[in-house]
Amino acid sequence: MSLDSSSSALHLNLPPSSSSQSRPPTQITIHPSVVASILTHHTRRPDTDAPRVMGALMGQRSESGAEVDVRSCFAVPHSENAEQIALDMPFQQSMVELMNRNGVKEQVVGWYATSPELNAYSALIQNYFSNETAPFPAVHITVDTTLTASGEGLGVKGWVSTALGLSPKPENCAFLPVPVTIKYSDSERPALDLLVAPQPNPSPALPPLQSLSSSLAQLSALIDSAQTYVQAVNAGTTAPDVSVGRYLLEGVGRWSATGAEDEGGVREGVQDTLTVEYLANLVRSQVELSSRLALLQQGQ
Amino acid sequence: MTSMAAALAASLPAPTQQRVATPQPAAPTKVPQRMEGVVDVEAAREVETVQLNSLVLLKIMKHSTDQLPPPPAATYQQDRNAPPPTNLSSHPDAVGVLLGLDLDGVMEVEDSFALPSGETSLGANSYSSNLLSHLRDVSTPDSPIGIYLSTHNGGFITRAAVDLLVAIERAAGRGKAILVIHDASRASGGDLSVKAYRLSEGARASAKSKKWDTAALVENHITPATLLTSIPVTVSSPSLINAFLTSLTTSPSASEQPSLTSPSVPLPPSFSALSDPLGQSLPAYLSDTLDALTLQSHEANNIAFLSRQIAREKVRHEQSIRDRDEENLRRRKGGLPELPAIPAEMRNGTKDPSRLELLCLQGQVDGLAKGMGAEAGKGLVRCYL
């Protein structure tokens, strides 16, 4: 699912060939915490007139280099004005070294900036980061932080650069767009659900059955709407859609085939679960007793 | 006039998050005039609730899904032999430091970073002080106010965590260090579990005196259940991130039609499966609980051995005192000069062992058993659905 408005570019995922050394990546996946971090850095910038802030991206690459997974990022102080641009290089290098020490296996894969424009300064920084990520090409992510009234904006775009011109000069390069998608794992899903829930945000420490009950409510609502649709089609009021009908048929068929003989399994499962529950309570009371006894012993 | 009043009213309590950003360049002890009533300079108020930024929540989630190297084998107090390697102890936990500011009893957590496993100090040359100096350059709030821990199945009080909390308390003030626990295995089952705790009064007193032996425990009434007190947690997100998150769930205006095979938004609504997951998750809980019990019994054996040794030393010392007295008595009778009396107190090697490790392990067993019970309960409900 692309994070940006759809572009008219066509991205081809060519199969890896044996001669591909540093093929430019064709797909960038980004973790939502990275985007949140970039946006926070933008709001925290000390000089609110500066159009953009920059930082480095860390992540992992796939085997052939075709897919880049951006997992974390950090900000790098920089200053730019009409004549020159300066990026704090020792800062960036020491941050990379610190990040390497904290146990997560990530490497520098590129850099980000929070304005949608790409100019000559971007080319210079891209060149510097390409030296850092050699022999792989550096990836550049731009986040558009202007929120226009029409609801556009916050587009996250990815770029790679290719050299341009007859002689390779660092300020000459062309940025090619690369599609960017959000990637998150299953255990992060509940957190994302919590964050996008309507205000006020529910507390993140709800008892476990809450999600089960809300899921059941959602499911029953969906079944209701599907039912009204089917009834409407049968009564002839809605034009039938063949693909929807096939989808429903497939879904219902799959469910009815597996639901029949689960009775015995449920009964055995209940016995096991009850035993585990009893054991858990036993262990807990033992631990509590022993800790209080330890206190008592010394008091004598 | 009305517009000015409206402007004043709008600017006053409005974005506390914005104001949190301002004291950053100043040292943490100096506070701008407006915040005097709100910021707790003398550490007089206890923290009552924790407000997590969505950035921090996302970062904790991301760290919990990273592949981490196994934790280094740490030998705690005077082990005769290292504890048996269990699945539990070699499973890496994601640990990190929380940064933020405490305003009016609400601890607002603004940022976080990951710690390498095995770090238990926040001292001068540690990883975190290096990283904090870098973060300060990019105007990130740089006061550590707690740690986060991402564990599995509910056993989370480890000695490393308590050490870190104590280090943060020393830096930040009494009652201010927060421990945020994220239960990763619960989350993969579909329920988010993020809880916050702080050290209880008794634990803080013990930590201050750095004595965790039995006398201190009795004095402060510390049991594994009273080591930490829990605090409510809420989540907030600043507006830009809110906009980003909404863009994930609402489809863009002039978009392609959503088809049945591919959803139109990056974050389609999710459902929790109605099947019974207990076959996979309960054995994990059971084995973790048993592992924790093994570790705890090993530590209990260690402490028993040490206390026996201490008792033996004591007996020997008293014996030598008695011998010396008898000797002196004989010499007095015989008119010989007396030997100096041995002082009644002992000199070395007889301190009561620190029971912190045992407490933590007991707490772990308790937490794991609690998690096990909760899972079993959930499974029972599903059985009867």
Q: Which residue of A has its CA nearest to B287?
A: A276
Q: Given this model, what pLDDT does residue B119 score?
A: 60
Q: How many CB pairs under 8 A join A and B?
A: 286
| B68, B187, B383 member nearest A104 (Cβ) | B68
Separation of alpha carbons B148 and B181, rounded Å: 6
- Cα of B6 to nearest chain A Cα, Å: 24
For B130-179, what is each residue's pLDDT tens digit?
888 888 887 777 778 888 887 776 666 776 677 777 777 777 666 677 88
Q: Which residue of A has its CA nearest to B50?
A: A203
Torsion sign across C-alpha atoms B168, B171, B173, B174 = positive
Sheet strand arrangement including B144-151: B228-231, B194-199, B178-183, B144-151, B94-103, B106-114, B49-53, B233-236
CB contact (8 A) between residue B188 and residue A196: no
**Residue B107: both structure tokens together:** 């601890």
Helix axes B356-383, A209-235, angle to 10 degrees: 20
For B229-241, what is each residue's pLDDT tens digit?
778 887 777 766 6
Which run of H or E residues covers position B161?
Answer: helix B159-172
Q: Given this model, what pLDDT does residue B87 score?
A: 58
**Residue A194: both structure tokens together:** 């919590």
CB contact (8 A) between residue A102 and residue B116: yes
Task: Lowest mean pLDDT of A146-155, A181-190, B21-30, name the range.
Answer: B21-30
Q: CB within 8 A of A219, min separation 6: which ones? A: B271, B274
Residues in A closer than 8 angstroms to B25, CB to CB, are 46
Q: Which residue of B has its CA nearest to A59?
A: B66
What residue ranges in A144-253 does DSSP mark as E strands?
156-163, 173-178, 180-182
Average pLDDT across chain A, whole number: 73
**ipTM of the shown complex:** 0.77
Separation of alpha carbons A100 and A90, rounded Å: 15
Q: CB within 8 A of A110, min separation 6: which ones? A: A56, A57, A68, A70, A129, A133, A138, A139, A140, A141
| B52, B184, B272 member nearest A215 (Cβ) | B272
Residues in A closer than 8 angstroms to B278, CB to CB, are 269, 272-273
Q: Given this model, what pLDDT does residue B14 score?
A: 36
For B297-338, what is each residue's pLDDT tens digit?
877 787 788 778 888 888 888 888 888 888 888 888 887 777
- Where do the H-state alpha helices sit in B195-277? 201-209, 214-220, 239-249
Average pLDDT over residues A41-49: 74
Residues in A closer than 8 angstroms to B382, CB to CB, are 212
Q: Which residue of B has its CA nearest to A91?
A: B134
Separation of alpha carbons B111 and B129, rounded Å: 15
* pLDDT class of B15 with cuts at 50, 70, 90: very low
Domain range list for chain A: 27-183
CB contact (8 A) between residue A287 and residue B224: yes
Sheet strand arrangement including A27-30: A173-178, A156-163, A139-143, A107-113, A54-61, A67-76, A27-30, A180-182
Helix axes A263-299, B278-334, angle to 10 degrees: 20
Residues in B closer than 8 angstroms to A242, CB to CB, are none
Residue A241: left if φ>0, alpha if ψ -120 to 50, beta else—which one? beta
How many C-beta neighbours within 10 Å does residue B284 have?
A: 15
The single-letter DSSP state of residue A203 is P
Separation of alpha carbons A6 and A294, rounded Å: 66
B260, A254 in Cβ contact below 8 A? no
- Out of B256-260, B263-267, B320-324, the most confident range is B320-324
Separation of alpha carbons B53 and A44, rounded Å: 14
- Residue where the block lists tokens 């050290």: B199
Task: Label the pairing between strands B228-231 and B178-183.
Answer: unpaired
- Cα of B14 to nearest chain A Cα, Å: 16
Q: Which amino acid is at B152?
A: H
**Residue B219: both structure tokens together:** 């004095």
User: Is the model's pLDDT at A45 over the cut of 80?
Assistant: no
Separation of alpha carbons A55 and B261, rounded Å: 37
Beta-bridge mates of residue A75: A55
Separation of alpha carbons B246 and A38, rounded Å: 17
User: Per-residue DSSP letters for A250-294?
Assistant: HHHHHHHHHSSS-HHHHHHHHHHHHHHHHHHHHHHHHHHHHHHHH
Rounded to 5 degrees, what are φ and ψ at B72? -70, 145
CB contact (8 A) between residue B223 and residue A243: no
CB contact (8 A) between residue B355 and residue A287: no
Q: CB within 8 A of B215, min separation 6: which ones? A: A298, B352
For A278-291, what is each residue's pLDDT tens digit?
887 888 888 788 77
Q: Given this model, what pLDDT does residue A5 score?
A: 52
Assign 3-state DSSP to chain A and report helix, strand, coil percentages, each to 5: 45, 20, 35
Separation of alpha carbons B301 and B307, rounded Å: 10
Which class for B255: exposed (0-12), middle (13-18), buried (19 or more C-beta within 10 A)? exposed
* pLDDT class of B20 with cuts at 50, 70, 90: very low
Select from 3.40.50.300, 3.10.129.10, 3.40.140.10, 3.40.50.360 the CATH code of A27-183. Answer: 3.40.140.10
CB contact (8 A) between residue A295 and residue B380: no
Residues in A closer than 8 angstroms to B192, CB to CB, are 190-191, 193-194, 204-206, 211
Which run of H or E residues covers position A34?
Answer: helix A32-43
Residue B269 preceded by cis peptide, ω within 30: no
Q: Given this model, what pLDDT does residue B245 score?
A: 66
Q: Given this model, what pLDDT does residue A125 score?
A: 82
CB contact (8 A) between residue B62 and residue A190: no
User: Is the model's pLDDT at A65 over the cut of 70?
Assistant: no
pTM of the model as a whole: 0.74
| B252, B362, B378 member nearest A287 (Cβ) | B362
User: Is the model's pLDDT at A151 over the cut of 60?
Assistant: no
A277, B380 in Cβ contact below 8 A? yes
Average pLDDT over residues B352-370: 71
Q: Which one, of B104, B92, B121, B124, lies nearest residue B36 by Cα?
A: B104
